[in-house]
Amino acid sequence: MKIVIIGAVAAGTSAAAKARRNSEDAQITVYEQDRFISYSGCGMPYFLGGEVEHAEELTPRDPEFFRSKYNVEIKTEHEVLAVSPGTKSLSVKNLRTGEFFTDVYDKLIFATGARAVTPPIPGRELEHVFTLRNINDMLRIRSFLDESKPKSAVIIGTGFIGLEMCESLSRLGVTVTLLEKLPQVTPGLDPDMAVLVEDHLKKSGITVLTGVSIDRIAGHEVLLADGTSISAELVLLSTGVRPNAELAAEAGVQLGASGAILVNDRMETNLPDISACGDCIEQFHVVTGKQVYRPLGSTANKTGRIAGDCATGGALRYRGTLGTGIFRVLGLSVAQTGLSEREAREAGYDVVVCHNTKPDKPEYFGGREMTIKAIADRANGRVLGAQIVGHEGVDKRIDVFATAITYGAKAEDLFYLDLAYAPPFSTTKDPVIYTGMILENALHGGRPLMAADELIALQRAGEPVTVIDARTVAQFEQSHVEGARNIPHSDLRGSVASLNKDAIVVTYCNKGTTGNAAQNILINNGFKRVYNLSGGMKQYSAVRKKH
């Protein structure tokens, strides 16, 4: 059997390696347009920032490695021009020699990846304007940094790569301005979590402009539609990626709504003996079961392995994606998994949302706070998604949430998780466990939450709301929710008689715990509509800045 794979980065090489493990008899050929294969694209910002010393560390494998270890023939700088499913053949061009030839296959796997989206901004062709998608891009940027030594940079787009490059350029002493056309940074996060990231960026000396429209790039300036001019000796376009699916589509392969290749759970397309994997395919979401496009390195490796297994008679099946991702920017860790609140509401879920701010380990052991936003289905309590912004231990917690969501855990299940505890690593009630407690109280314990933006909207609409600040007088005087009345927790029982039991009451403290205790007192005294402000004053302050 002859297996041909188009593409030799994460998915293509994973498919080839798994196919070989399953079959010693198969003839496996991989065509790759580039000269670099099987590289760590996610490591590129860290090479540019100096944390990875040598570019070769990101490209540890070459065609000879796959030939000697796997008996797989990888032909670099070879472009597949066309695929003919009827004859099971493909037309290939050797980019080094200019030679054209035809090859045949029994099984064909598209692993053609994705390319950077280049918005139609006048001036994008200038020599100091870059995208960062592959090793060639990385080397061009590194050469420019070494030769031109730019002092200012503009990054257009605030996704993973844009913010990782923000950190790397800042490490080099470059002054960075971030531009985002949306009203928030990190488009994958909900706005009430994105504000935490934006606040950190600004405190770290980064200029952040959201909701902006770019007119053009001219010389060493980026000009906005409102006439603002921003110094930019280097410009990075980081506005997302688009699947390389044109070759497959021309061969008759069906594409999904995103423009990526549509596959089943065995990575098979609509055409016999043709599969696809990696960043060129759509996946389906674990929670909703609907098609999504989530191009991630971890997913590329996984789907590549499944494609190679199924091409050689294996039984592996894909189980869906949660879009779990994490990145670091200027010491801050940002992670997400599952559905955002916006996605959950758009999918028709009636959601319960909580914000939980807790240290990753005890303060006496140097613990630093993280904020967890968790989303659950009000109908059955199932956890739908989570987002975390913090410093240490964010990776551990997001992986716990990803595992829980994958296996259909409910909010109450988080409380019962037997997570590891010792002071160097966690608090006795881990932030994940505490999140489960908060959600469970809101779902079934009669302790509802109100988000900061909900409270702000109610007040602006003129709705009568009694807001009780349960903190100390000193804390209240320093800052407080607009219109709040300060009744410290220790004084609340004696003040119950002065409050209207029929009014909407919102209690709060710094982060939520004392606010919940105040909520309990009022509920136990017959108050009917008492909410705890989700995330307390800390979350309210961050959200209020964007209103």
Write down the catalytic residue from 42, 277, 310, 509.
42
C-alpha 467/C-alpha 451 separation (Å) is: 13
3-state secondary structure of 117: coil
Query: CB atoms < 10 A from the CB of 96, how many?
Result: 10
C-alpha 541/C-alpha 547 separation (Å) is: 10
Cβ pair 296, 243 in contact under 8 A: no
- Secondary element (H or E) of residue 16: helix 10-22
C-alpha 352/C-alpha 257 separation (Å) is: 29
42 catalytically annotated = yes
DSSP string computed for 71-100: --EEEESEEEEEEETTTTEEEEEETTT--E
Q: How far is CA 214 from CA 121, 158, 232, 242, 465, in A?
A: 7, 14, 13, 21, 42
C-alpha 494/C-alpha 497 separation (Å) is: 7
Do β-strands 100-104 and 107-110 pair in parallel, antiparallel, or remain unpaired? unpaired
Residue 62: partners with Cβ closer than 8 Å, 6 or more residues away: 37
Cα dihedral 436, 442, 445, 446, rounded to 10, equals 170
Handedness of CA 454, 457, 463, 469 (dihedral sign): positive
The catalytic residues are: 42
